[in-house]
Structure 1
Amino acid sequence: MSNFNDYWERKRPLTVHELLAELENIEDGNHYKYDVYITPPTDAGNDTDEDSGEEDCQNPDRLNHNQLDAEAELYINDKPVTEENNVEDNTPTTSSIPSNPHKKVRKATSVIQEKPKWVVDDLKNPICENWSESLLPPISLGAENHSLDFFELFMPAQLVLFLVKHTVQYAASKNRQLTVSVEDMYAFLGILYVSGYNVLPRRRMYWEENDDVQNRLISTSMRRKTFEDIFRNLHAADNSVLDPTDRMAKVRPLIVALNRLFMDYAPIEQSISIDESMIPYFGRHGCKQFIRGKPIRFGFKSWVMATRLGYCLQFNLYQGRRVNDKQDCGLGESVVYNFADVLQTHFENLKFSLFFDNFFTSVKLLTTLGERRIGGTGTVRINRTGNCNLPNDQYYKKTERGSYNHKIDEANNILAVRWKDNSIVTLLSNQYGVKPLQSAARYSAKEKKKVYIPPPNVVSMYNKYMGGVDQFDNNIATYRISMRGKKWYMPIIMWMFDTAMNNAWRLARNVGKSLDNLAFRREVGQALLKKYGKLPLRNGPTSNYSYPLAARRNTKHIILTNQLRRRCAVCKSKTVKACSTCQVPLHDKCFSAFHPNN
């Protein structure tokens, strides 16, 4: 504890990161209990795209970078912690490090763990063998099939019937009379998808007859009132049997059904990315999140597992820490474990390699994945490297772009790498090593030209496969359903409909269809409206007269007066005149129009 004794000679107090590093280096035979008090950090207006740490965090590995850079205060329990005496004594000793006494403090108890032994070496034994080809699902569809066939895999008639059932049930609970068929619900989905690429400021404008906004395909497929009734009552669960502990119970049945379909028809690959996806929402709800620096800052957060090109394999909505969540691991670790369980359940004989960012990555996570024979690669925060003493940022400021250092924990087969690019990045992996070095093109402002730098293999693999969820977000955001509802769960349901469309397109591309995202959505939207849409009845009474045109031409017709007052077969206005032969009510002015060449 030389740094502690020299503290008073320092010009600034120790940070949390420095203090924890000193504690991990202590050879403490008596196992004293250390309490670290953290002064509340300030962001100084800096924006970040990282999530903050968990509230009331008791694990130093889960602190964010602002907390690690904050000033710290150490309290040492004089009484050693033994099996017979494991009682906490909060009496502070005189070896405490002062901090600002006017600031509130947050308590975090450090956990003494066995430190990994890091040596300078490269990863030689990946966790699982590489297989590069994509495995297609057992379906008979090919490039010659219509786009609607792929869409109906993810939105089958059984699932649509489920939506119809609960939509009608909800309307009945509100004393509303609603009659909806499976065909009506398919046509309803078609209108939603058309609104994604043909956006109008108000949804009622799709049924207007004005030349600037008229959409004949929509207006001739479903009446506006029918659409509004379905949109108003759309439901995916029975409100009488909702789980009170599940804050997403209103959409849980649809989540379960879609996740099962996504796995059944997945073009599965070995390298899979795990990340968060935001669903835009600006109303009030306890699960709404705010993440600074994201393209979508306000909304619901969904954990997504996706392939490299954006096929969503699984998703689950974040609703905060729950009582039944695993308490022996962090939030990010539990998300990865749950997705890994799904993969190993559906594909028992396949070995996967997962990619994630610094919100999820830790030495503990990669150790556990290695025990389950699952590869893992991710960027990592500096306090989760298992005390791997790689050079600090000051060292890399003096080195060239592309320089790196690496070490390996041989016991757990985990590689740690720090590499300098535009910024300094740290990665952990149990699947990829440093060699062979790759080549990456960068623009050099100093030399005014493109230069090539040699990134480690693990960095290249991370850059290649980590962007699957970002690609998935981009696919949806480009032609997102534009119709909004006032209920909190409507954005989630619309997002799930968009996810089903995205997966249908990605599957079609995998089997050889060459349509891009827009062309595929247009083809599906038009097919839904033409196949399932119903021509609405005209407003007001309609004429039931149907007289062959040939008979109207070849027969002698005379106008009769003083007939029963009925509507004219041509202009629909009432008249007391009619044709003697056709027995059709007609005005004098409409007689010649009804009887051509007569």
Structure 2
Amino acid sequence: SRGRSRSRGRSHSRGRIHGREESRKADSDIVPNIPRFTPKRIPGVQPPLTFVKKSPLDIFSQYFDKGVINFLCANTNENAVRNLEREIKKYIGLLRYMGVMDLPKVRDFWRKKTLFHVTFPVTVMPRDRFLAISCNLHISDPMEDAENDKKRGTEEYDCLHREQPLLDIMRNRCMSIYHPRQHISVDERMIATKARISFKQYMKAKPTKWGIKLFVLADVNGYTIDFKIYTGKSKFASGKGLSFDVVTSLVNRDYLGSGYVIYCDNFYTSPLLFRHLHQLGFGTCGTYREGRVGVPSTKQNALNKRSPRGSIRWIRNDVLLFVKWMDTREFILVTMCTTIHTVYSGETVLRWQTTEDGRKEKVPVPRPTAVQQYNKYMGGVDTSDQMLGTNSVHRKTRKWYMTIFQHFLDIAVTNSFILHKELCAIHHDKHMTRQNFQELLAAQLTGVPLDGSPRERCDHLPVPVSNTQNLSERASMGRRRCIRCKRSTPWKCQECDVMWDYACS
């Protein structure tokens, strides 16, 4: 037994040794040899942070340095421009909507609990947001405005600096999108304002007597082709008079071409201007004032109050034709000057006349050709003024340049409607009415369908979404976006079972 135990022990001992050798051999096959630890740099914080003591901001700036901040600012501003573009469109759309609705005050569109409550504006933009945009809306660079204000009282001061960028854009767009037909007119236009500005004008004969005066070039259909804001005596005056400078600045041959006929009233008409435009290839026609330089002063063959109704007298001076006509309405004497019309080509006009037996009847009265053409084509600016005054976006404001901005919006809408009619005529389609056009434009700017009705106010009881008994968790649990104002809210309508922030009602 002793021998057997030794042999068993030896065999057992040998077996264990043999097993260790096998296990070492297996480990060497699985685990590779690890090379020596040789880092590229010294482990730990890297220079220059190790040179001096750094603040938390210095350490954080190693990750968000100036380059990263500028990158974020650039992309954030770009995204903000996109969002602001949508918001400005909604703002302009609300201005157009207010022009159609025409309530007395801006705040009236957000009134509640009243018979005159309007439901649509609050669905587009909160009142305070609309007022904030109105308060901060600016056209020019504020820094450049401050530099220009320092020049006040000097010749270098520009009184239209705050409007000049948009003014140039509007003039270029009006001329580039549409080209007028042959007969165009020049006249004044007034923008009503009570602002205390140096270039505010008074015009007795205009419906709007106080305001900012514009000289306008318009087509016979009412399209505003070009305009110029009058700011007083210009340092670039030619010395030939204000009327001469105005017409020559608006009638540009490089833009129009030649062969156009310009109609104007007696403020602009002068032999000097008409001869100048004739040399440029333009025809002219307009009423004139007696005693103006270059107007014939002879009394031979003249008319007076005793002249018969329909009497015509004329004098030709090279390219100029001066015509006088006795109208039947209270014996009004009409004086015309033209470079393109004949004296009389057979036109007549019906006028009331009392017969011998006391009856009144219409009789034909001869009328000069220049008078007939003047009455037909001179009303382009008046037509434009009438269209601009209908559903205007003009609102009372303390900033005079915002008044001009609102007028630019009216010009854009009116010209757009005229282009709409022109395009429909080209495609043989029926055009919309002016009101329908403005309503559709307001709906498209605000991003809502025209035939969609705004959500009515919900008078149901709001209840919290979470039923937890812990008051600290009730305000945060279950928050979702309100279906109306899109703000996060823990409230919902008890009857409709939709998220609803009662603060936006």
Q: Is the 8 A contact 1:311 1:472 kept in 2?
A: yes
- Aligned-residue sequence identity (percent) comes to 27
Q: 2:144 aligns with which of 241, 249, 253?
A: 241
Q: 1:355 aligns with which of 243, 263, 278?
A: 263
Q: In the alignment, which residue of structure 1 is the partner of 2:169?
A: 257
| Closer/same/farther in 2, CA of residues 518 and 443 from structure 1, 3 Å limit | farther
Q: Is the 8 A contact 2:464 2:491 kept in 1?
A: no
- The aligned runs of 1:17-56 (5 Å cut-off) are none
Q: In the alignment, which residue of structure 2 is the partner of 1:345?
A: 254
Letter in 2 for 1:336: V
- Could you tell me how far 1:545 is from its partner in structure 2? 6.6
* More displaced 10-residue stretch of structure 1: 476-485 or 238-247: 238-247
Q: In the alignment, which residue of structure 1 is the partner of 2:312?
A: 404
Q: In the alignment, which residue of structure 2 is the partner of 1:205?
A: 108
Q: In the alignment, which residue of structure 2 is the partner of 1:285?
A: 197
| Closer/same/farther in 2, CA of residues 179 and 307 from structure 1, 3 Å limit | closer
The reply to whether residue 183 of structure 1 matches residue 86 of structure 2 is: yes
| Closer/same/farther in 2, CA of residues 393 and 239 from structure 1, 3 Å limit | farther
Q: State the alpha-carbon separation in 2 of the partners of residues 247 and 564 from structure 1.
A: 59
TM-score normalised according to structure 2 size: 0.69
Deviations 1:475-505 (A, max 9, x none): 0112111422111212111111101100000
Deviations 1:240-287 (A, max 9, x none): 335643221211111110111111111421100000000001121111
Q: 1:218 aligns with which of 116, 121, 125?
A: 121
| Closer/same/farther in 2, CA of residues 370 and 460 from structure 1, 3 Å limit | same
The reply to whether residue 438 of structure 1 matches residue 347 of structure 2 is: yes
Q: 1:303 aligns with which of 189, 212, 215?
A: 215
| Closer/same/farther in 2, CA of residues 191 and 444 from structure 1, 3 Å limit | farther
Q: In the alignment, which residue of structure 1 is the partner of 2:43?
A: none
The reply to whether residue 490 of structure 1 matches residue 402 of structure 2 is: yes
**SS where residue 276 of structure 1 aligns?**
strand
The reply to whether residue 419 of structure 1 matches residue 330 of structure 2 is: no
Q: In the alignment, which residue of structure 1 is the partner of 2:294?
A: 386
Q: In the alignment, which residue of structure 1 is the partner of 2:484?
A: none
Q: In the alignment, which residue of structure 2 is the partner of 1:428?
A: 337
Structure number with higher helix proportion? 2
Q: 1:566 aligns with which of 467, 474, 484?
A: 474
Q: Name structure 1 gaps, 5 residues minimum.
A: 1-167, 169-176, 547-558, 573-584
| Closer/same/farther in 2, CA of residues 196 and 443 from structure 1, 3 Å limit | farther
Q: Aligned Cα RMSD in Å?
A: 3.6
Q: 1:460 aligns with which of 372, 382, 398?
A: 372
Q: Is the 8 A contact 2:191 2:213 kept in 1?
A: yes
Deviations 1:524-556 (A, max 9, x none): 1122112599x99x9xxx99979xxxxxxxxxx
Q: Is the 8 A contact 2:344 2:367 kept in 1?
A: no
Q: State the alpha-carbon separation in 1 of the partners of residues 300 and 408 from structure 2.
A: 44
Deviations 1:457-481 (A, max 9, x none): 1111111111100111000112111
Q: 1:524 aligns with which of 441, 449, 471?
A: 441
| Closer/same/farther in 2, CA of residues 430 and 543 from structure 1, 3 Å limit | farther
Higher relative contact order (Cα pairs below 8 Å, separated by 6+ residues): 1
Q: Is the 8 A contact 1:401 1:420 kept in 2?
A: yes
Letter in 2 for 1:406: W
Letter in 1 for 2:308: E
**SS where residue 511 of structure 1 aligns?**
helix
Q: Is the 8 A contact 2:321 2:339 kept in 1?
A: yes
- Could you tell me how far 1:399 is from its partner in structure 2? 1.7
**SS where residue 174 of structure 2 aligns?**
helix
**SS where residue 383 of structure 1 aligns?**
coil
Q: State the alpha-carbon separation in 1 of the partners of residues 119 and 81 from structure 2.
A: 25
**SS where residue 315 of structure 1 aligns?**
strand
Q: In the alignment, which residue of structure 1 is the partner of 2:133?
A: 230
Letter in 2 for 1:204: R
Q: State the alpha-carbon separation in 2 of the partners of residues 442 and 571 from structure 1.
A: 78
In the alignment of these two chains, the number of paired residues is: 384
| Closer/same/farther in 2, CA of residues 424 and 393 from structure 1, 3 Å limit | farther
- Could you tell me how far 1:570 is from its partner in structure 2? 11
**SS where residue 400 of structure 1 aligns?**
coil
Q: In the alignment, which residue of structure 2 is the partner of 1:72?
A: none
Q: Is the 8 A contact 1:267 1:507 kept in 2?
A: no
**SS where residue 281 of structure 2 aligns?**
coil
- Could you tell me how far 1:571 is from its partner in structure 2? 13
Letter in 1 for 2:474: R
Deviations 1:394-435 (A, max 9, x none): 84211222211011112xx11110111131111111111213
Q: State the alpha-carbon separation in 1 of the partners of residues 449 and 229 from structure 2.
A: 32
Q: 1:318 aligns with which of 230, 252, 255?
A: 230
| Closer/same/farther in 2, CA of residues 522 and 405 from structure 1, 3 Å limit | same
Q: Is the 8 A contact 2:395 2:403 kept in 1?
A: no
| Closer/same/farther in 2, CA of residues 369 and 482 from structure 1, 3 Å limit | closer
The reply to whether residue 372 of structure 1 matches residue 280 of structure 2 is: yes
Q: State the alpha-carbon separation in 1 of the partners of residues 179 and 390 from structure 2.
A: 22
Q: State the alpha-carbon separation in 2 of the partners of residues 586 and 515 from structure 1.
A: 44
Q: Is the 8 A contact 1:218 1:529 kept in 2?
A: no
Q: In the alignment, which residue of structure 1 is the partner of 2:47?
A: none
Q: Is the 8 A contact 1:304 1:314 kept in 2?
A: yes
User: Greater Rg, structure 1 or structure 2?
Assistant: 2
**SS where residue 291 of structure 2 aligns?**
helix
The reply to whether residue 332 of structure 1 matches residue 238 of structure 2 is: no
Q: Is the 8 A contact 1:273 1:356 kept in 2?
A: yes
Q: In the alignment, which residue of structure 1 is the partner of 2:432?
A: 515
**SS where residue 187 of structure 2 aligns?**
strand
TM-score normalised according to structure 1 size: 0.59
Deviations 1:94-137 (A, max 9, x none): xxxxxxxxxxxxxxxxxxxxxxxxxxxxxxxxxxxxxxxxxxxx
Q: State the alpha-carbon separation in 2 of the partners of residues 515 and 475 from structure 1.
A: 15
- Could you tell me how far 1:215 is from its partner in structure 2? 2.4
Q: Is the 8 A contact 1:274 1:469 kept in 2?
A: yes
- Could you tell me how far 1:188 is from its partner in structure 2? 0.7
Q: Name structure 2 gaps, 5 residues minimum.
A: 1-76, 149-155, 425-429, 481-489, 499-505
Q: State the alpha-carbon separation in 1 of the partners of residues 468 and 433 from structure 2.
A: 63
Q: Is the 8 A contact 1:390 1:405 kept in 2?
A: no
**SS where residue 472 of structure 1 aligns?**
helix
**SS where residue 320 of structure 1 aligns?**
coil
Q: State the alpha-carbon separation in 1 of the partners of residues 449 and 169 from structure 2.
A: 23
Q: State the alpha-carbon separation in 2 of the partners of residues 406 and 516 from structure 1.
A: 44
- Could you tell me how far 1:214 is from its partner in structure 2? 2.5
- Could you tell me how far 1:369 is from its partner in structure 2? 0.7
Q: Is the 8 A contact 2:102 2:391 kept in 1?
A: no
Q: Is the 8 A contact 2:325 2:333 kept in 1?
A: yes
Letter in 2 for 1:337: T
- Could you tell me how far 1:455 is from its partner in structure 2? 0.8
Q: State the alpha-carbon separation in 2 of the partners of residues 409 and 448 from structure 1.
A: 40
Letter in 1 for 2:242: L
Q: State the alpha-carbon separation in 2 of the partners of residues 318 and 532 from structure 1.
A: 41
Q: State the alpha-carbon separation in 2 of the partners of residues 285 and 454 from structure 1.
A: 48
Q: State the alpha-carbon separation in 1 of the partners of residues 475 and 180 from structure 2.
A: 64
Q: Is the 8 A contact 1:192 1:483 kept in 2?
A: no
**SS where residue 187 of structure 1 aligns?**
helix
- Could you tell me how far 1:562 is from its partner in structure 2? 6.3
